[in-house]
Amino acid sequence: MSLFAGFGSDNHSGVHPDIIKALRDVNEGYTIAYGLDEYTKHAIDKLKKIFGKQTAVFFVYNGTAANILGLKSVTDSFHSIYCAESAHLTVHECCGPENFIGCKLVNIPTNDGKLTIDLIEPYVIGGGDPHMAQPHVISLTQATELGTVYRPKEIQKLADFAHANGMLLHMDGARLCNAAAFLKVDLNEICGKVGVDILSFGGTKNGMMFGEAVVFFDKELSKNFEFIRKQGMQLTSKMRYISTQFSAFLHADLWLYNAQHANQMAQLLAKELRRIRGLKITQKVEANMVYAIIPNHCITALQKKYYFHRFNERTCEVRLMCAFTTKKEDVFEFVRDLQKYI
Ligand SMILES: Cc1ncc(COP(=O)(O)O)c(C=O)c1O
């Protein structure tokens, strides 16, 4: 029997039918390649309506490329980038940032995946000293890798701090939609409007097949991006297959419904888990994931049927993720199975 992978990651979900339809619709006739087509113009216009007409918007295939190429285009090799020690950028990009950007990544310990000025400030040293890496970017993840969500004011504070210290604020928004759905705000309320300079805007985890947008809130910052994207092997010729997905994703708030559903399923899962004695939810459940400490023998038994990650081997902390496709019945079945083993 193959393992049920639904709680392993939102990447394990399929593609929303509206996106499949958009892909089918666009699959007719000829169009100019490399993003010079009408579909791409339309999708970029839609994104500019959300993030502001002064922005510069580009598409790439995946989140790792969005982060690395976006950051590369605003940094030099003698710069440092500050991120949480749990950030995808530093943990799960195979030192791509170090290799392609060539910068120093400064990993900052946090309890909940969220950076604060107090946490960052002690590391912001050496500005102007030719012996030391030059502080240049703060990169935060919204929603964080631990499922927590920055409030608009928290982002604004980080942006003000970054700018006051001659730095930029980058946001890995692989799950920006989940964060906006949780906060009940428009997408731009938690990025452009609160001082974010560069955004990786993710679609894949929330219903698209592939595709991320890199958004520069100041066009000047984007002046090298087209060249860096090509060098970085992410200038896709058949761009319409990314663009049309974004148009469908943004149409009639599909992004929002998908994210709301994934978040609600995480809330349901957390509520059911909290009823079980001996379990501990370890992070605030705000976006679409639940972190919990589950007795070791239960994890072993559950993993015979379910594929999910042990986040911390030593403490038996697991990560359970929900997606736009998660069903209530799947949540109840998982919890019933867990109760059997407790
Ligand atoms: C927070 C975050 N950023 C970036 C990425 C990278 O996405 P990709 O696997 O498409 O490169 C992921 C993927 O899981 C992620 O969770």
Smallest Cα–Cα separation from 206: which of 183, 236, 164, 176? 176
Interval between CA 323 and ligand 1 midpoint (Å): 14
* DSSP letter (8 states) at residue 45: H
Indicate the helix (H) or strand (E) that contains 317.
strand 317-321
* The token pair that represents 34 in the structure block: 């490399």
Helix/strand/coil (H/E/C) assignment for every residue in 11-35: HHCCCCHHHHHHHHHHCCCCCCCCC
Q: Are 185 and 259 in contact (CB under 8 A)?
A: no
Q: Are 193 and 152 in contact (CB under 8 A)?
A: yes
pLDDT value of position 1? 65
* DSSP letter (8 states) at residue 4: B
Type of residue numbered 9: S
Interval between CA 189 and ligand 1 midpoint (Å): 22
* The token pair that represents 286 in the structure block: 């705000």
Pocket of ligand 1 contains residue 90 by CB under 6 Å: no
Domain spans of the chain, in order of start = 18-253, 254-341
Q: What is the pLDDT along the chain (342 residues), one digit of tens a residue?
A: 699 999 999 999 999 999 999 999 999 999 999 999 999 999 999 999 999 999 999 999 999 999 999 999 999 999 999 999 999 999 999 999 999 999 999 999 999 999 999 999 999 999 999 999 999 999 999 999 999 999 999 999 999 999 999 999 999 999 999 999 999 999 999 999 999 999 999 999 999 999 999 999 999 999 999 999 999 999 999 999 999 999 999 999 999 999 999 999 999 999 999 999 989 999 999 999 999 999 999 999 999 999 999 999 899 999 999 999 999 999 999 999 999 998
Compute CA 4 distance to the chain's CA centroid, rounded to the nearest angstrom.
Answer: 23
Interval between CA 138 and ligand 1 midpoint (Å): 18
pLDDT value of position 4? 94
pLDDT value of position 126? 96
**Per-position DSSP letters for 236-304, written without gaps between them:** -S-THHHHHHHHHHHGGGHHHHHHHHHHHHHHHHHHHHHTSTT-EE-S---SSEEEEE--HHHHHHHTT
pTM greater than the 0.75 cutoff:
yes
> Where does 18-253 sit in CATH, by number?
3.40.640.10
Compute the C-alpha angle 281/283/285, nearest 5°: 90
Q: Please report, in angstroms and rounded to a whole number, the separation of the first and last CA atoms in the chain.
A: 23
Interval between CA 341 and ligand 1 midpoint (Å): 33
Dihedral sign from CA coordinates of 14, 18, 24, 26: negative
Smallest Cα–Cα separation from 72: which of 93, 52, 49? 93
Q: Are 179 and 150 in contact (CB under 8 A)?
A: yes
Query: Which CATH architecture fits 254-341?
Result: Alpha-Beta Complex (3.90)
Pocket of ligand 1 contains residue 145 by CB under 6 Å: yes
